């Protein structure tokens, strides 16, 4: 049986609240789980003490049994000092899309033409 440490959503509409659960990978997100090992409340400020609460002993136990955390839970475990997460690097994330790049090129070309016209006018005076 393959086991994951993941988030199960609760709370009202537009007011999310998550339980950090141990669940079989085949069970649905909010469905059947084996054990609750923590809570996550994204509505609290990032520096709030009780934004993420973990039962560290149980998390360690399930990690030793081969449970794999999801990316978000892995971040929580890294912040708690339980598990090390390597930072990811996506160099294409900061690049503009095709159309935005074309608009930027057009804008820069128009600015260059305006600057050249202003210099030519200043030189002719």
Percent of the chain with pLDDT over 90: 78
What local confidence, expressed as pLDDT, does residue 103 receive? 95
- Band (pLDDT 50/70/90 cuts) for residue 121 is confident
Q: Of 58, 56, 63, 68, which Cα lies nearest the Cα of 25?
A: 68
User: Which tokens belong to 104?
Assistant: 């930027």
Examine the pLDDT at 125 and tell me if it is beyond 80. no
pLDDT tens for 23-67 read 999 999 999 999 999 999 999 999 999 999 999 999 999 999 999
pLDDT tens for 82-98 read 999 888 888 888 888 99
Q: Do residues 32 and 16 touch, judged by C-beta distance below 8 A?
A: no
Examine the pLDDT at 99 and tell me if it is beyond 80. yes
User: Is 78 exposed, middle or buried (CB count within 10 Å of its CB: 0-12, 13-18, 19+)?
Assistant: middle
């Amino acid at each position: 049986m393959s086991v994951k440490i993941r988030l199960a959503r609760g709370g009202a509409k537009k007011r999310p609240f998550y339980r950090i659960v141990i669940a079989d990978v085949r069970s649905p997100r909010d469905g059947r789980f084996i054990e609750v090992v923590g809570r996550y409340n994204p509505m609290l400020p990032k520096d709030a003490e009780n934004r993420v609460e973990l039962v560290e002993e149980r998390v360690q136990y399930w990690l030793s049994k081969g449970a794999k955390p999801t990316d978000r839970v892995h971040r929580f475990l890294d912040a708690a000092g339980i598990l090390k997460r390597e930072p990811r690097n996506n160099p294409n994330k900061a690049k503009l899309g095709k159309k935005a790049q074309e608009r930027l090129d057009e804008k820069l070309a128009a600015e260059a033409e305006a600057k050249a016209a202003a210099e030519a006018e200043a030189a002719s005076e």
